């Protein structure tokens, strides 16, 4: 028996509209959530057309011309905009009858290509019992006939399996959200043998070690450690309503100081040329379906959002630095870089909010354009909810002797930070200041 996908009803109309706008075919992503019992598709997003395709809304006439690299890039961008619990759950293609015969082969190639691309970016590994099937939806633009199949992305030789595609109204209208703030304090030494300018690689290594701590951490939900029971067990329903409260915000993350008595800890002496510090607080959010969700599912979704949001910010930062400063730029002087802030945007008919990141000087219009291009969604100014205060990256070289001028700069920066904290704007100014911010400090001899 194949899997069953419960699909937001509005997606049917969206796919129908695409079939009349784009010829001879159009591809796109399916966004949703999978569980052991049910799979949910809450959004479909077409692949953004390239510049040469925008005017005529036309694609190459043959499926062999599908640009997998372009689709992978779109999937990577979209995955950054998904909060915990949501993922790229499949792909779709709407094609004319002449191309329908080869559509399934094209879908299979895209599915495995996307999964390979996304796996490279992840700092977490799928659980053994996790659902690894991905949906391949084929729609005929003439007859509107739908064929849904699945492929197991963990098996390169996987063959297509039939799947049911069932529309359901208000599918995500009352999903549960889990919110928490996680304090981050990551110290990453730079070995003397490591190139000073290769900060991205060193941060990735440090984040890999930190992500394992998050995966092994303990979560307190409403002050309790819950086993693998239903998440809503013991929760009170809203007065006069059959639904439960749609938000759980009393969540605390406890990371273990050691790996247990069975693992001996040993000190290691390493010759280092400097260090990187990631310190501060990040806003995290995950969503789970309201059909008897399990605690284990909710905690896993939130853990992955914690890991993803920090990793995504670092990637965005370095992409921005490469664009503005070049790939071989070395920083030997103290420089401040603004880290992207996290924001959330709702979409109609759903309690689920999509995520994105903005730099401090980025206008609302740029965010709106990105949502149209990446998620095919119009966003109003008032719908953009910034979740965090301003954050900065502090790139700071360290010398053995700090002269009076440097000391004055440090004191001035510290006082400035305290003043700005009182104004509600958080800026990282020195390593010695322990504040609830998210900052990046780089020290190099």
Structural domains of the chain sorted by starting position, each given as residue range(s) with its CATH number in brackets: 4-168 (3.40.140.10), 176-444 (no CATH)
Dist. CA 115–CA 101, nearest whole Å: 24
Return the pLDDT at 37: 75
- Count of C-beta atoms within a 10 Å radius of residue 206: 20
Return the pLDDT at 236: 54
Query: Radius of gyration of the chain from Cα atoms?
Result: 24
Tell me the CA end-to-end span of the chain in Å, nearest whole number.
Answer: 62
Which DSSP state fits 222?
T
Low-confidence ranges of the chain (pLDDT < 70): 1, 52-61, 194-199, 234-245, 257-265, 325-338, 389-445
**Nearest C-alpha neighbor of 332 from the set 405, 403, 398:** 398
Return the pLDDT at 31: 98
Q: What is the pTM of this model?
A: 0.83
Q: Kindly list the distances between the CA atom of residue 107 and the CA atoms of 11, 94, 138, 147, in Å, as whole numbers in the listed order.
A: 19, 11, 8, 12
């Amino acid at each position: 028996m194949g899997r069953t996908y419960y699909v937001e009803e509005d997606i049917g109309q969206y796919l129908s509209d695409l079939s009349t706008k784009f010829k001879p075919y159009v591809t796109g992503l399916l966004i949703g959530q999978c569980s052991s019992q049910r799979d949910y598709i809450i959004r479909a997003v077409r692949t953004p057309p390239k510049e040469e395709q925008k005017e005529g809304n036309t694609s190459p006439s043959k499926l062999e011309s599908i640009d997998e690299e372009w689709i992978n890039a779109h999937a990577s961008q979209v995955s950054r905009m998904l909060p915990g619990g949501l993922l790229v759950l499949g792909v779709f293609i709407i094609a004319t009858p002449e191309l329908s015969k080869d559509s399934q082969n094209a879908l299979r190639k895209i599915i495995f290509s996307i999964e390979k691309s996304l796996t490279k970016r992840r700092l977490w590994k799928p659980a053994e019992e996790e659902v690894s099937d991905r949906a391949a939806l084929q729609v005929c633009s003439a007859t509107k006939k739908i064929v849904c199949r699945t492929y197991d992305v963990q098996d390169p030789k996987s063959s297509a399996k039939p799947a049911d595609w069932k529309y359901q109204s208000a599918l995500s209208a009352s999903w549960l959200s889990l919110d928490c703030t996680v304090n981050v304090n990551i110290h990453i030494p730079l070995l003397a043998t490591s190139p000073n300018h290769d900060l991205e690689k060193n941060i990735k290594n440090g984040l890999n070690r930190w992500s394992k701590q998050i995966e092994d951490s303990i979560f307190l939900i409403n002050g309790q450690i819950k086993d693998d029971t239903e998440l809503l067990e013991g929760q009170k329903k809203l007065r006069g309503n059959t639904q439960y409260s749609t938000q759980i915000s009393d969540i605390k993350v406890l990371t273990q100081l050691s790996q247990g008595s069975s693992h001996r800890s040993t000190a290691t002496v390493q010759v280092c040329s400097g260090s990187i510090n990631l310190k501060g607080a990040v806003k995290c959010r995950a969503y789970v379906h309201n059909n008897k969700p399990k605690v284990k599912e909710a905690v896993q979704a939130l853990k992955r959002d914690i890991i993803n949001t920090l990793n995504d910010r670092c990637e965005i930062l370095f992409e921005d630095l490469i664009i503005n400063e070049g790939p071989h730029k070395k920083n030997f002087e103290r420089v401040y870089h603004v880290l992207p802030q996290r924001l959330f945007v709702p979409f109609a008919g759903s309690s689920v909010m999509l995520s994105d990141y903005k730099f401090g000087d980025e206008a609302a219009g740029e965010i709106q354009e990105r949502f149209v291009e990446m998620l095919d969604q119009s966003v109003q100014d008032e719908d953009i909810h910034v979740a965090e205060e301003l954050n900065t990256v502090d790139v700071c070289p360290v010398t053995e002797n700090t002269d009076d001028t440097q000391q004055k700069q440090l004191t001035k920066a510290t006082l400035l930070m305290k003043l700005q904290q009182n104004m509600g704007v958080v800026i990282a100014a020195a390593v010695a200041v322990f504040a609830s911010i998210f900052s990046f400090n780089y020290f190099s001899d």
